[in-house]
Amino acid sequence: CRERADLDDETLQSAGFERPEHGVDAFYRPVGCRACSYTGYRGRVALHEVMTLSEDLEQQVVGRSRGRELRDIALAQGMVPLRDDGWAKVVAGITTIDEVLRVTA
């Protein structure tokens, strides 16, 4: 249900992604067949953004910090944003950049 596709640097930059330096043989785009009802996708894959509530974050929540401040702390503590998780799945050949952009818009 997929075929190899090239992603130009302009497309990647406009989406906010950087081309991996190594380890990526190809990107893919959906094609479609009878098995996937001609959508190019079959099954489901979740994108995850999990924020572990550390003591520091808990104190900020209790102190009624703004969402942006909470997000910045969580990112500093290793949280992977939803779109970045999607990008990792694009690089792994699990999904397409178009699908990640669609569901994270």
Q: Would you tell me how many other CB atoms lie within 10 Å of the CB of residue 87?
A: 24
Instruction: Fill in the amino acid letter for 67.
Output: G
pTM, 2 dp: 0.79
> Which domains, and CATH codes, for the chain?
2-104 (3.40.50.300)
73 by DSSP, 3-state: which?
Answer: helix
Instruction: Fill in the amino acid letter for 54.
Output: S
- Print burial letters for 25-46: b (CB count within 10 Å at least 16), e (below 16): eebbebeeeeeeeeebeeeeee
Mean pLDDT to the nearest integer, 83-92: 91
pLDDT band for 71, please (50, 70, 90 cuts): very high
- pLDDT, tens digit, 9 for 90 and up, residues 16-70: 888 877 767 678 888 888 888 888 888 889 999 999 989 999 999 899 889 899 9
Rounded to whole angstroms, the Cα distance separating 82 from 51 reads 11
> Crossing angle, helix 67-76 and helix 55-62, to 10 degrees?
170
